[in-house]
Amino acid sequence: MASKEGYKSPVEQVVEGPTTRGRTARRSLSWKTMATQKKVEEHLTKLEEGLEEMQAEVNKMSGLMEELV
């Protein structure tokens, strides 16, 4: 059968496949993505607050060190 013109083996058909296979582009974020995004934003907010607190403590300590010197 392979000698017939236009014949494709099942393997060739799978390899080539239709061009429309696969997932379509998503139009909106999934619930899981939105939940994860919210958690990431909350985590980043907490990190920023922690960094601000740490910077305030460093400034306070540097002021105390200057007083000692």
The CA distance from 29 to 23, in Å, is: 14
The CA distance from 47 to 3, in Å, is: 67
Per-residue b or e along 13-37, where b marks 16 or more CB atoms closer than 10 Å to that residue's CB: eeeeeeeeeeeeeeeeeeeeeeeee
pLDDT of residue 47: 96
In a domain, 47, yes or no: yes
pLDDT of residue 32: 77
- Render each residue's pLDDT in the chain as its tens digit; 69 residues: 455 666 666 655 555 545 555 555 556 767 777 778 888 999 999 999 999 999 999 999 999 999 888
The CA distance from 63 to 60, in Å, is: 5
Count of the separate structural domains present in the chain: 1
pLDDT of residue 68: 86
pLDDT of residue 63: 93
The CA distance from 5 to 57, in Å, is: 80
Domain that holds residue 57: 30-69
User: What pTM was estimated for this model as a whole?
Assistant: 0.48
